[in-house]
Amino acid sequence: MEYGLFTSIIHAIVIASTPLVFAGLGALIQERAGVLNLGIEGLMIVGALAGFASALAGYPLIVSVFVAAFAGSALASIFALLVLRLYANPVATGLALTLFGLGLSALAGSQYVGQAAPQVAEWIIPGLNHIPVIGRAFFSHDPLVYLSIVMAGTMWWFLTKSRAGLILRAVGENHSSAHSLGFSVIGIRFLAILTGGALAGIGGAYLTLVQTPLFVEGMTAGRGWIALALVVFASWRPFRVIAGAYLFGGVSIVQLHGQALGISIAAQWLSMLPYLVTICALVIIASRVKGENSAPGSLGITFKESK
């Protein structure tokens, strides 16, 4: 089947954006609980490698996704232990986690370089996929694309409609108050970090399972950092993470096509475009007044139980 250029661009944007949606949601749930985890990049690449290894070993997609999620959680639990229990500085620990994850995946992944994972089948949504243009662009994708959207919806529901989500937000907003009301700040943050690690792991696995079914050292290429910026851009809201991820994915795909069409701007400028957009977005957000769109009050502050 032949598709128009527009349709293929949209299709490519969805694929480019999906890892950012997962990773962004993974950062969001942690930040809403007051945990600033700068190790998203490290969690993503470890997830990418774990998922890829599982797919190469012949396991079905669903198993590989679980393996990636587990790998992300496992690495994140080290972060949780250091930051929540041993009161390590979260910024330094997060940076260390990124570097550790990149190094670990390079070491363990060297044997996989050059191999290709099996193609993931698309789940075509019957009926909707026949709609001209958008049918192909939005409704004939691999299952993980749909999962990312469902995840955002679930997270929105959890944060705004459930008591557990309310407690999680309370912990992120003011951990001392939450503690004095009898909530387990450490326990809730621990769960948030594990969940965030799993989502970042899946985001990484999307790269090796679907986007480019290969493993290359350092292939996350800064997506973990973009995900962190996305959360701020999205004012800590799940659906806005999707919007931000698609905006970012869109800019990066458009610049690729722009290069292909021979637009006479230096390719380096176009490559910089997505990052420039992110910086502009962050500046605009920073200039807004404090209010409901601002960061959780206890974000990145170490909680120590007073005796």
User: What does the binding site for other proteins look like in residue numbers (CB under 8 A)?
Assistant: 162-163, 166-167, 169-170, 173-174, 176-178, 180-182, 290-292, 294, 296-297
Residue 15, both tokens: 């694929």
Nearer to other proteins, 84 or 178 (CB): 178
Nearer to other proteins, 2 or 292 (CB): 292
Q: How near is the Cβ of 303 to other proteins at its closest, in Å?
A: 14
Backbone angles phi, psi at 292, to 5 degrees: -75, -15
Nearer to other proteins, 271 or 302 (CB): 302
Nearer to other proteins, 29 or 68 (CB): 29
Dihedral of the CA atoms 184, 185, 186, 189 (nearest 10)? 120
Q: How near is the Cβ of 200 to other proteins at its closest, in Å?
A: 25
Q: How near is the Cβ of 60 to other proteins at its closest, in Å?
A: 39
Question: CB–CB of 285/233 below 8 Å?
Answer: yes
Nearer to other proteins, 174 or 259 (CB): 174
At residue 214, the 3 state secondary structure works out as strand
At residue 35, the 3 state secondary structure works out as coil
Nearer to other proteins, 91 or 272 (CB): 91
Please tell me the distance from the alpha carbon of residue 255 to that of residue 274, in angstroms, as a whole number. 9
Going from the C-alpha of 58 to that of each of 74, 198, 219, the distances in angstroms are 22, 21, 22
Q: How near is the Cβ of 126 to other proteins at its closest, in Å?
A: 38
DSSP 8-state secondary structure symbol assigned to residue 295 = P
Query: DSSP characters for 116-168?
Result: BPPPPPPEE-TTGGGSTTHHHHHHEE-HHHHHHHHHHHHHHHHHHH-HHHHHH
Q: How near is the Cβ of 297 to other proteins at its closest, in Å?
A: 6
H-helix or E-strand spanning residue 303: none
Please tell me the distance from the alpha carbon of residue 184 to that of residue 131, in angstroms, as a whole number. 50
Q: How near is the Cβ of 162 to other proteins at its closest, in Å?
A: 8
At residue 293, the 3 state secondary structure works out as coil
Nearer to other proteins, 181 or 280 (CB): 181
Q: How near is the Cβ of 36 to other proteins at its closest, in Å?
A: 16
Please tell me the distance from the alpha carbon of residue 303 to that of residue 224, in angstroms, as a whole number. 25
